[in-house]
Amino acid sequence: MTTAPTPARSTAPLRAEHEKLLASLHAIAERVEKLGEQTTPQQMAQAREVLEFVRKQVIPHARAEEYTLYPAADWAAGEGSHITEVPRFEHKLIVARCDALDKAIGAGAPGGRLMHLCYSILGLIAAHFVTTDEVVLPYLDKAFDAARFEKEVLTPLRVERGVKR
């Protein structure tokens, strides 16, 4: 029995970007697993690495999603849709958790607290990407062909992600 080929998704390039970010996230999470075995300065450095990853990679990506991806998804899901309310709120949660980690580092928090905060941030980000890929992007796959998605959503997203704020 032959199965029909899966049609190309217009959001495939964005999904690939998410996979790349998730690979980096998982690599950092593996290092966080050993945080409890490290010296205090190493623990602080590891926690700072999590913050740096979020601030340099994830936050610009999130800001760009709010600028271009989410309005397109809301449009694609239909008038009155609230499809992007949860992912937008997740962005706020990530920032709040990063603020808590930053304060914990500044206060010299014990390794267990740093590990807890790091995992909460990384887990939230991982769940956010899965939710975006599985819940939000299918609406865009239905509403946009690849060329239109690239022109109207992905190119502006990449430009916005590069803007320093």
Q: In this model, does residue 109 exceed pLDDT 70?
A: yes
Q: In this model, does residue 8 exceed pLDDT 80?
A: no
pLDDT of the residue at 132: 96
pLDDT of the residue at 107: 96
Dihedral sign, Cα of residue 100, residue 89, residue 123, residue 143: negative
Nearest to 61 by CA among 21, 93, 34: 21
pLDDT of the residue at 2: 58
Per-residue pLDDT of 48-61, as tens digits, reads 999 999 999 999 99
Query: Which residue reads 């956010």 in tokens?
Result: 128
Is 141:48 a contact under the CB 8 Å cutoff?
A: no
Please give the Cα distance from 46 to 7 (Å, whole number): 41
Residue 162 pLDDT class (50, 70, 90 cuts): confident
Q: In this model, does residue 5 exceed pLDDT 60?
A: no
Of 3-7, 79-83, 102-106, 155-159, the poorest mean pLDDT is in 3-7
Query: Which residue reads 């217009």 in tokens?
Result: 10
pLDDT of the residue at 158: 86
Per-residue pLDDT of 18-38, as tens digits, reads 999 999 999 999 999 999 899
Please give the Cα distance from 4 to 157 (Å, whole number): 32
pLDDT of the residue at 80: 86
Please give the Cα distance from 78 to 24 (Å, whole number): 34
Mean pLDDT of the chain: 92
Please give the Cα distance from 128 to 113 (Å, whole number): 23
Please give the Cα distance from 17 to 141 (Å, whole number): 16
Q: In this model, does residue 79 exceed pLDDT 90?
A: no
Task: Give mean pLDDT, residues 82-108.
Answer: 96
Give the predicted TM-score (pTM) of the model: 0.90
pLDDT of the residue at 108: 94
